Structure 1
Amino acid sequence: MPLLRTRCYDSFDVAMQQTINSHATPDKNSSMTYRLPPLNALRAFEAAARHLSFKNAALELSVTPTAVSHQIKLLEESLGLPLFDRLTRALALTPQGEAMLPKVREGLECFAAAVESAHAHAEQGRLVVVVPPSFATRWLVPRLRRFAVAQPSLNLHVIRSLSTIDGNQTVGAAASEPADLRPEDSLVEIRFGGGSYPGYHVDRMFGSDYIAVCSPKLLAAEPPLRVPADMRHQVLLHDDGAGDRIGPGWDEWFRLAGVSGVDTRAGPHFGDAGMAYVAALDGLGVALASRPLVANALAQGRLVAPFDIAVVQNHAYHLVVAESIVRRPAVQAFRHWLLEESQAEAPGPVNSSASPLAR
């Protein structure tokens, strides 16, 4: 904002010139040059002049009265002029101080407006959150109302992308940056993977284990579903897409359950985890699902987990942000909210047999 900055310095220039001119002897053969005093000295002068008290100015500026007195002394020495009359129990402005005060105040207000304008400009940008598809649908979106209530003015854009899953593409803007991303926008990613993303600020949210889930009506139907061996009579639902998981499948679940002789490839196959999830909700069969992503459905009774058997792996969900923007207010607000929400994800009981993927 060059124009605003120039106006701020002009105010201080006029203040200095008026103060010096009021005390200087004109000399047509000499040019008067000077440097602007430090901003802290000008702030101390304005506060002390407004309160007519070094003590009250110090309270406002969160410094000591001695520090204010020192800044005023530096300012007076740099100008070669007295700005205050130190009376026995009072403080008064000299004529030079009175001449200088209005323009100094105007200059400080101008700088404050410049800073406020910069903050307002930054807040106009969007917070663009790029997330794995199933995570967006089943975990993030159901919780976003709480964030919207806490941050009603934040311009949030959520984009689903498989590029946020390790093994599909590399981390960063080249992998998932929207084509219309603007300089004032803040791009963050929720990634599913190993957690090593050099050059980025990384917060681990929670891990992911995989459990068998189905509609409650399957528990009341025939054939019965009471012990893991009963799973051999159930329809197995498969996620054949990249989805939001890497590795575990029904063969691994049955190995942990100690059940053999099952055709783990039989049953409907779906192109992504979302379709397998809907099929399980509809009672078509049993799906192998990420526990954190079905937590809401389990809590609401729309799905049930018949057995305490879980396939565990090292991959986890992480919030990944470029170091250059991690301190932006919008990013910080989303980060704090997201970590609070993720910390509420208490891990459920896991079968003592570990998957090779967890080793």
Structure 2
Amino acid sequence: MFANLPLTALRSFESAARHLSFKAAAEELHVTPTAISHQIKQLEHTLGLALFDRLPRGVALTGDGRRLFRDLHGALLEIAQSLAALQPQRSTGRLTVTTTASFAALWLIPRIGGFYQQHQDIAVRIDTGAQVVDLQQDASVDLAIRYGGAVPAGLHRHGGLREHFGVYGAPGHVEAEAAKPSPTLISVEWGESQLYECTWQTWCDRAGVDWMKPGGVMRAYDEEHYALHAASAGQGLVLASSVVTAGSVERGLLAMHRPDITVPGETYHVLCVPGRERHPPVKAFLRWLDGQMGEV
């Protein structure tokens, strides 16, 4: 049934497609770049189509190449996981999760102790780098928890966490600040800096207040956890997500003003390469996430 599968060529293609480099694939597989090129040319000849566009500097996958890579990467990953599961004394489970610094600091890390209590044999590495990780290219990352936007083609989405925005402040201070004609407003400036400004205006319109009038005090931070720390210190009112404020509200560091008024936000998506969700450590982490995300 599988006698004619060009396994060596497929493995060479998968590595070259993941790295987008024949040289990097050669280093990974301990062969020469010429050998990688030869294997891929043979595979293209067998299939009767081009898998790579050869560019002046490097290579890029064609549409057919992207399709083959998605299917092949998932299949090889399943094979590797099956072999690992058969090993009688396999090492401690590990997984890597990439997400934003704010989500990690304000939601994930305060809760992850519960996961370790249930799974002491699994080590979780949390990556909060500024660059968005391409899960189909970087096999070292198991899961991504990403904010908003459409789910990229070719990725598996597992659940999600929907948010809404409200106004928060320090307990014992929030109502006094809100009673001022021009309270100090705390916001966040991301790459999409208009998100908070527009949401502040929407909240004010729904509440029937004119806090966004010219001359008002607006203090902005580039990370949500800075904005929440400023609000909990009594420095003003913060417009914040129900997701990232949940822990601070539970610990009595923040209180919500006008709980009856909220503005819909985005969804935190949990993403992985198809097939990775069946890897035992990843499967255990996803099952734990389901329980936690259902609580917010």
TM-score under structure 1 normalisation? 0.53
Counterpart of 1:210 in structure 2 is 165
Counterpart of 2:188 in structure 1 is 239
Displacement of 1:261: 6.3
Over 3 Å counting, the alpha-carbon distance change for 1:140 and 1:245 in structure 2 is farther
Q: Counterparts in 2 of 1:132-143, with a 5 A limit?
A: 132-143=100-111
Tell me how far apart the structure 2 counterparts of residues 173 and 300 of structure 1 sit (CA, whole Å): 39
Tell me how far apart the structure 2 counterparts of residues 280 and 219 of structure 1 sit (CA, whole Å): 9
- Answer yes or no: is the 8 Å Cα contact 1:134–1:243 preserved in 2: no
Higher relative contact order (CA 8 A, sep 6+): 2
Q: Counterparts in 2 of 1:101-250, with a 5 A limit?
A: 118=87, 120-121=89-90, 123-124=91-92, 126-163=94-131, 169=132, 172-174=135-137, 177=138, 185=140, 187-219=142-174, 224-225=176-177, 230=179, 232-242=181-191, 246=195, 248-250=198-200
Q: Name the aligned partner's letter for residue 87 of structure 2.
A: A
Over 3 Å counting, the alpha-carbon distance change for 1:245 and 1:269 in structure 2 is closer
Tell me how far apart the structure 1 counterparts of residues 130 and 192 of structure 2 sit (CA, whole Å): 7
Larger strand proportion of the pair? 2
Query: Quick one: percent identity of the two aligned structures?
Result: 22
2:284 to 333, 349, 355: 333
Counterpart of 1:257 in structure 2 is 207
Displacement of 1:240: 1.3
- Answer yes or no: is the 8 Å Cα contact 1:154–1:330 preserved in 2: yes
Displacement of 1:173: 4.8
- Answer yes or no: is the 8 Å Cα contact 1:203–1:319 preserved in 2: yes
Q: Name the aligned partner's letter for residue 139 of structure 1.
A: W
Unaligned runs of 5+ in 2: 1-82
Q: Tell me, what secondary structure is at the counterpart of 1:204?
A: strand
Aligned length: 211
Over 3 Å counting, the alpha-carbon distance change for 1:288 and 1:116 in structure 2 is closer
Displacement of 1:324: 3.0
TM-score under structure 2 normalisation? 0.63
Q: Tell me, what secondary structure is at the counterpart of 2:244?
A: helix
Q: Name the aligned partner's letter for residue 291 of structure 2.
A: E
Tell me how far apart the structure 2 counterparts of residues 119 and 317 of structure 1 sit (CA, whole Å): 37
Residue 275 (structure 2) pairs with residue 312 (structure 1): no
Q: Deviations over 1:133-169 (max 9, x none)?
A: 1110111001011001111111210111344xxxxx5
Over 3 Å counting, the alpha-carbon distance change for 1:129 and 1:269 in structure 2 is same
Counterpart of 2:27 in structure 1 is none
- Answer yes or no: is the 8 Å Cα contact 2:93–2:121 preserved in 1: no
Q: Name the aligned partner's letter for residue 235 of structure 1.
A: T
Over 3 Å counting, the alpha-carbon distance change for 1:279 and 1:134 in structure 2 is same
Over 3 Å counting, the alpha-carbon distance change for 1:236 and 1:186 in structure 2 is closer
Tell me how far apart the structure 2 counterparts of residues 131 and 193 of structure 1 sit (CA, whole Å): 12
Displacement of 1:274: 1.7
The structure with the largest alpha-carbon Rg is: 1
Over 3 Å counting, the alpha-carbon distance change for 1:159 and 1:312 in structure 2 is same
Tell me how far apart the structure 2 counterparts of residues 199 and 275 of structure 1 sit (CA, whole Å): 35
Over 3 Å counting, the alpha-carbon distance change for 1:161 and 1:138 in structure 2 is same
Tell me how far apart the structure 1 counterparts of residues 192 and 244 of structure 2 sit (CA, whole Å): 12
